Amino acid sequence: MAQFKPLVFSGVQPTGNLHLGNYLGAIVKFVEMQKTHDCIYCVVDMHAITVPQDPAQLKSSIREVTAAFIAAGIDPKAHIVFNQSQVAEHAELAWVFNCVARMGWLNRMTQFKEKAGKDRENVSVGLFAYPALMAADILVYRATHVPVGEDQKQHLELSRDIAQKFNNDFAESIALCGHGDAFFPLPEPLIQGPATRVMSLRDGTKKMSKSDPSDYSRLNLTDTADIIAQKVRKAKTDPEALPSETAGLAGRAEADNLVGIYAALDNRSKDDVLREFGGGNFSTFKNALVDLAVARLGPVGAEMKRLVGDPAYIDSVLLDGGRRAREIAAPNMKAVKEILGFIG
Ligand code: TRP
């Protein structure tokens, strides 16, 4: 297959509070990728409206995610940070992909099944077509690498299937239009690290989530040091001491989760953390986890709050990013239209 220039793309939905799961599962990796790749990070506001949103709340959530990106260390000058709806090519390519993807493929998406639940007849068409828009987000830039949490793996596979089917279905036209044997790369998911799945602090078998009714289930990026300490101290554990090796975490979901969080926050492996804390009780470990979480999240939360207080700056970052994103998306979309046989 043709060679594609390495390019990173990822997106975060502007819905509700950002928590440790978003931070460790996605944003920390976004920051890391900047060192080695050109990166495009998108606040996916068009994905947000697949379920009902309050316009005023949506606007502040878009600014909050942007603030979190910057506070965590994403450089919006060296890379691109913008909100999705500014670049119409996302929606334009999504329509094309709606016509490439098969009903059967989308019917298999577990996130849709979970979100729609028993109310399948009443959810938006957009919620069903969501993965085709996600594929368009990535492929409108012909991005090659996508840092995401474990829960997005299936959507990434669908993006690859869509890219592959487009390349196959239009192979002749792609070649005639001068793009060789493939127009779209098959984007690779980047899912690594000890905390690709951060679980609830109240139930180690459930994902940490903004929609959990208990705020004690999650650490929000804007929680104060006191709140972080309270939540960690109240986090569910079991009566055993911590094991000395990762194997000993099997069947102990809460212990596994807390050790994973510690490892991710301290940039170490779980084994390494257990070498230090194995055999000890949870209260000692939790004290260390409080200190670490406050040290790592405190400055990010404080900077986020400062940035959210300056919406004019945030909006200028998004506008500049939108303009630069469009410069990449527009010629790619033009080429797609040519390949399809559209005129103009
Ligand atoms: N679906 C992703 C989520 O809910 C967000 C997203 C939208 C995304 N478009 C994307 C992630 C493109 C990576 C690439 O977390």
Among residues 59, 165, 210, 305, the one annotated as catalytic is 210
* The predicted structure's pLDDT at residue 1: 65
pLDDT digits 0-9 by tens, 283-292: 999 999 999 9
Residue 115 catalytic? Answer: yes
Q: Does 228 share its domain with 161? A: no
Q: How far is CA 166 from the centre of its chain?
A: 25
What is the C-alpha to C-alpha distance for residues 124 and 48, in angstroms, rounded to an integer?
12
What is the C-alpha to C-alpha distance for residues 333 and 189, in angstroms, rounded to an integer?
23
Q: Does 184 share its domain with 108? A: yes
Lining residues, ligand 1, CB within 6 Å? 9-11, 13, 44, 47, 134, 137-138, 146, 148, 152, 155
Please report whether residue 175 resides in a domain. yes
**pTM for the structure as a whole:** 0.95
Please report whether residue 206 resides in a domain. no
Centroid of ligand 1 to alpha carbon of 3 (angstroms): 24
Separation of first and last alpha carbons in the chain: 29
What is the C-alpha to C-alpha distance for residues 224 and 215, in angstroms, rounded to an integer?
13
Q: Does 110 share its domain with 169? A: yes
Q: Does 289 share its domain with 330? A: no
Domain with residue 226: its CATH number is 1.10.240.10
Q: Which two tokens stand for residue 1?
A: 């297959």
C-beta separation of 244 from 214 below 8 A: no
Q: Does 40 share its domain with 61? A: yes
- 323: helix, strand or coil: helix
Q: Does 190 share its domain with 86? A: yes
**Domain encompassing residue 12:** 8-196+311-340
Q: Does 190 share its domain with 227? A: no
Please report whether residue 32 resides in a domain. yes
Q: Does 294 share its domain with 336? A: no
Centroid of ligand 1 to alpha carbon of 125 (angstroms): 17
Q: Does 105 share its domain with 140? A: yes
- 129: helix, strand or coil: helix
Q: Does 65 share its domain with 176? A: yes
What is the C-alpha to C-alpha distance for residues 267 and 261, in angstroms, rounded to an integer?
10
How many folded domains does the chain comprise? 2
Which parts of the chain fold into alpha helices (H)?
20-22, 28-33, 45-48, 55-72, 89-98, 103-107, 110-116, 125-139, 153-169, 171-176, 225-234, 253-265, 270-277, 282-308, 311-340
Q: Which two tokens stand for residue 23?
A: 């931070």
pLDDT digits 0-9 by tens, 118-156: 989 999 999 999 999 999 999 999 999 999 988 899 999
Q: Lay out the sheet containing 39-43: strands in order across.
A: 80-83, 39-43, 8-12, 145-147, 188-190
* The predicted structure's pLDDT at residue 88: 98
Please report whether residue 278 resides in a domain. yes
Residue 206 catalytic? Answer: no
What is the C-alpha to C-alpha distance for residues 29 and 58, in angstroms, rounded to an integer?
25
Question: Rg of the chain over CA atoms, in angstroms?
Answer: 21
Please report whether residue 130 resides in a domain. yes
Q: Which residues of the chain have pLDDT under 50?
A: none
Q: Does 27 share its domain with 125? A: yes
Query: For atom 9 of ligand 1, which residue has the closest CA?
Result: 134
Q: Does 63 share its domain with 160? A: yes
Residue 334 catalytic? Answer: no
Mutation test residue for ligand 1: of 33, 137, 188, the one with most atoms within 8 Å of CB? 137
Centroid of ligand 1 to alpha carbon of 111 (angstroms): 12
Domain with residue 187: its CATH number is 3.40.50.620
Please report whether residue 110 resides in a domain. yes
Please report whether residue 43 resides in a domain. yes
Centroid of ligand 1 to alpha carbon of 11 (angstroms): 5
Mutation test residue for ligand 1: of 15, 47, 109, 159, the one with most atoms within 8 Å of CB? 47
Please report whether residue 203 resides in a domain. no
Pick from 46, 39, 53, 69: nearest CA to 134: 46
